[in-house]
Amino acid sequence: MRSPRELVGGSPAATYPIAFDGRELPAQEGQTVAAVLWAAGILAWRSTRQGGTPRGAFCGIGSCYDCLVTVNGRPNQRACLVPARPGDTVTTQEGTGHADLAV
């Protein structure tokens, strides 16, 4: 089976784990949070405010805001732009990500 890695050759400078909803996922240095999730076959990491339906990355360039996620406790980060850093904890974002405010 071909892969993007085989297409472009080479290997990452570093691979480190990040946490996603209690799972450990391998991140390659230089990947965004959305890319680490896609690489693990995870396409949804948010549920919508009204319908509670699952969403993930859509536009891939920071325009659509569908990939919002909670990173290290901070909600509403665009997963397609935010680099995955060693030790990051990423959690599925429910609604606004501010359940504590009860809005």
Residue linked to tokens 């060693």: 86
Among 17-25, 37-45, 87-95, the segment contacting another protein (CB under 8 A): 37-45
Measured CA to CA, the distance from residue 49 to residue 28 in angstroms comes to: 31
Binding status of residue 19 toward another protein by CB under 8 A: no
- Helix then strand then coil, in percent of the chain rounded to 5, is 15, 30, 55
CA atoms within 13 A on the CB side of 1: 2
In the list 21, 23, 24, 43, the residue contacting another protein (rule: CB under 8 A) is 43
In the list 21, 24, 83, 87, the residue contacting another protein (rule: CB under 8 A) is 83
In the complex, the residues that contact another protein under the rule CB under 8 A are 1-14, 28-32, 34-35, 38-39, 43-44, 48-51, 53-66, 68, 74, 77, 80-83
